[in-house]
Homo-oligomer: A and B are copies of this chain.
């Protein structure tokens, strides 16, 4: 069922769109999103400028597609790791490996946003899925309540938690996981540790250890 009977037109279209995105990722990795040039991509594909607009109606739409794919890729990586039995520390390593694999891809979704840009609903849905994977991993650990102020607050503001049975203490841990992982990774990827001499991997591991009460 639903075996979308794509004619050759549709098939070709999808292929060219994929090729455009491929080139876009290559450019992104070296120049960053701000210097992403549709014209340059078109020329690399042997077509001239405006032809690309048949496939993406604007630069923003291409970037949105890239953002969507990046979210999807991270969500899949985490889901795969979790299904393979990864615990919280394993998920942290998964995120780090995913980030180092393509720093600009990480920064594209978690870095500085363009003011005024509003992410489409489906990307925020994937973002929720990512958080759910992390929450699940903590839920399996059975986090005890601590009576911290934020736990009471989160009990009243848990709209983002998919599973209503998850205790607030677990939600707090998931948030801390997210912010700490991002804190180390984003500074590392942005090069702020360069020249300081220490190994960011050790700092990352140390933060994760702390997060797990080790």
Contacts and interface: CB of A to CB of B under 8 A. Distances in A.
A153 B110 contact: no
A70 interface: no
A182 B112 CA distance: 13
Interface in A26-48: 30-35
A196 B160 contact: yes
A113 interface: yes
B153 A111 contact: no
Interface string A147-164: 011100110011110000
Query: Which of A111, A153, A176, A198 has the most chain B CB atoms inside 10 A of its CB?
Result: A198
B187 A30 contact: no
Which secondary structure dominates where chain A touches chain B? helix
A186 B196 contact: no
Contact of A150 (B175, B178, B196, B203): B203
A186 B114 CA distance: 14
A4 interface: no
Contacts of A104: 115
Nearest to A176: B207
Nearest to A107: B112
A197 interface: yes
8 contacts: A34-B34, A104-B115, A113-B190, A127-B192, A150-B203, A179-B183, A182-B186, A183-B184
Interface of A: 30-35, 104, 107, 110-116, 124, 127, 148-150, 153-154, 157-160, 172, 175-176, 178-184, 186-187, 190-192, 195-199, 202-203, 205-207, 209-210
